[in-house]
Amino acid sequence: MTVQFSKTDFLPPLWLRNAHLQTILPRYIAKNTPDYHRTLLKDSLAQSDVAFDYVMADDQKGADGRYTTPIVVLFHGMEGSSQSHYARTLASHISTKGWHFVVAHFRSCGGVAVSGKVFYNAGDAAELAHYLQVLQQQFTTIYAIGVSLGGNALAKYMGEYGSDAIANRAVVVSAPVDLASASIAMERLLGRYIYTPYLLNPIIKKALDNRLSSEEIAALKSAKRMADFDNVFTAPRHGFRSKNDYYRHASALPYLRHIQRPTLIITAKDDPFLGVTAEPTDVSSDVLLLDTRYGGHIGFVDYDYQKRQFDLGFIPRTALDFFGFL
């Protein structure tokens, strides 16, 4: 079917149209501090604990024992958590509307260390399926949002599972649906010297805290790029031959044509983290592409002159509109 949805473009004031300002600014201006309730559960391999951070609405369970008010689940970006600016912003908007919200943390994220060998990767659709099955036992209606790495994982899940996907609708934001070209994009000047260290250093430190061979330790300590890390750690830890094998199999782009539930993909054309992005011929009729000229990477910062304050509401408002909130 063709998705019916009135797209709204993102058009910030002139002084907010720099891609790097859009990318960096939100982490300094997001003020919301949600009151999360944390639940720990086992991952899909029953090896490690993972954290679900909930903001629950005032709701009652139906005859089947499940909550009747919808829940929105967020799959975060690389090294993200419920404390990421976009998670806190989404939590505030969605809870204000009276819906449930949860951040489903990937292995090793949210302050919960892994117990097994496997961490997380951009294409682990089975892990998302497990998380959604857990939520399906508690909630009748589930909507999903995936951001950056979590957006690629969600898009791949929606395509891989097709009509069996548990999420009724999905919104994918700033997703590197072609991981190989995104890896190259991160080698641009600011990507190499600002964004890569910001993302790479914490995850290398986390990896070094686990049982590693002397060869793995040496390789990790010498990693200077995301591609290096993926080649020596992500790929072999998750059963791939190399970073190229990992990028090829984990990228969502080839799966977009198989999506059978309404999915909105929001991409800023100035996103400094992305390479190849989806075109209309890459997707099924159940996918709607919203390509904005501005927005950076998970930025979409506007300014409300009447209230004299920054506005991070473009993504929450667009997602809720797409999910059919009235």
Question: Which pLDDT band holds residue 72 (cuts at 50, 70, 90)?
Answer: very high
Looking at the structure, do residues 144 and 240 belong to the same domain, yes or no? no
Q: How far is CA 234 from CA 4, 120, 206, 267, in A?
A: 38, 8, 13, 25
Among 300, 296, 323, smallest CA distance to 10 is for: 300
Looking at the structure, do residues 143 and 246 belong to the same domain, yes or no? no
- Residue 54 forms part of a structural domain: yes
Looking at the structure, do residues 183 and 161 belong to the same domain, yes or no? no
Mean pLDDT throughout 123-142? 98
- Residue 7 forms part of a structural domain: no
* Count of structural domains, the chain: 2
Among 186, 46, 54, 175, smallest CA distance to 123 is for: 175
Query: Distance between CA atoms of 210 and 183, rounded to whole angstroms?
Result: 25
Neighbours of 133 (CB within 10 A): 11
Question: Which member of 44, 148, 174, 251 is catalytic?
Answer: 148
Looking at the structure, do residues 148 and 214 belong to the same domain, yes or no? no
Query: Distance between CA atoms of 44 and 38, rounded to whole angstroms?
Result: 18
Per-residue confidence (pLDDT) for residue 325, from 0 to 100: 79
Q: Give the residue, 205 or 20, on which the prediction is more confident.
A: 20
Per-residue confidence (pLDDT) for residue 267, from 0 to 100: 98
- Tell me whether residue 148 is one of the annotated catalytic residues: yes
Question: Exposure pattern of 246-256 as b/e (b: 16+ CB <10 Å)?
Answer: bbbbbbbbebb
Per-residue confidence (pLDDT) for residue 164, from 0 to 100: 98
pLDDT higher than 70, residue 6: yes
pLDDT higher than 70, residue 326: no
Question: Which member of 85, 93, 100, 297 is catalytic?
Answer: 297
pLDDT higher than 60, residue 261: yes
Q: Are 122 and 146 in contact (CB under 8 A)?
A: no
The dihedral built from the CA positions of residue 288, 294, 299 and 303, taken in this order, carries a sign that is negative
Query: Distance between CA atoms of 76 and 106, rounded to whole angstroms?
Result: 8
Q: Give the residue, 31 or 244, on which the prediction is more confident.
A: 244
Structural domain of 192: 179-250
Looking at the structure, do residues 74 and 130 belong to the same domain, yes or no? yes
Domain harbouring 296, CATH code = 3.40.50.1820
Question: Which member of 178, 271, 286, 302 is catalytic?
Answer: 271
Among 104, 152, 143, smallest CA distance to 316 is for: 143
Question: Which pLDDT band holds residue 272 (cuts at 50, 70, 90)?
Answer: very high
- Tell me whether residue 81 is one of the annotated catalytic residues: no
153 in helix, strand or coil? helix
- Residue 1 forms part of a structural domain: no
Per-residue confidence (pLDDT) for residue 43, from 0 to 100: 97
Question: Exposure pattern of 93-120 as b/e (b: 16+ CB <10 Å)?
Answer: bbbebebbbbbbbbbbbbebebbeebbb
Query: Distance between CA atoms of 147 and 226, rounded to whole angstroms?
Result: 18
Per-residue confidence (pLDDT) for residue 112, from 0 to 100: 95
- Residue 211 forms part of a structural domain: yes
User: What are 189-199's pLDDT values in tens digits?
Assistant: 676 767 888 88
User: What are 155-191's pLDDT values in tens digits?
Assistant: 999 999 999 999 999 999 999 999 999 999 988 867 6
Domain boundary among 206, 226, 250: 250
What pTM, to 2 d.p., does this model score? 0.95
Question: Exposure pattern of 50-70 as b/e (b: 16+ CB <10 Å)?
Answer: bbbbbbbbeeeeeeeeebebb
Per-residue confidence (pLDDT) for residue 191, from 0 to 100: 67
Per-residue confidence (pLDDT) for residue 197, from 0 to 100: 81
- Average pLDDT along the chain: 93
Mean pLDDT throughout 220-230? 87
Mean pLDDT throughout 2-22? 88
Looking at the structure, do residues 35 and 90 belong to the same domain, yes or no? yes
Q: Are 204 and 229 in contact (CB under 8 A)?
A: yes
- Tell me whether residue 297 is one of the annotated catalytic residues: yes
Per-residue confidence (pLDDT) for residue 2, from 0 to 100: 60
Per-residue confidence (pLDDT) for residue 84, from 0 to 100: 97
pLDDT higher than 80, residue 97: yes
Per-residue confidence (pLDDT) for residue 7, from 0 to 100: 74
55 in helix, strand or coil? strand
Question: Which pLDDT band holds residue 75 (cuts at 50, 70, 90)?
Answer: very high
DSSP 272-321: TT--S---GGGS-TTEEEEEES--TTTT--EEETTTTEEE--HHHHHHHH
Domain boundary among 227, 250, 273: 250
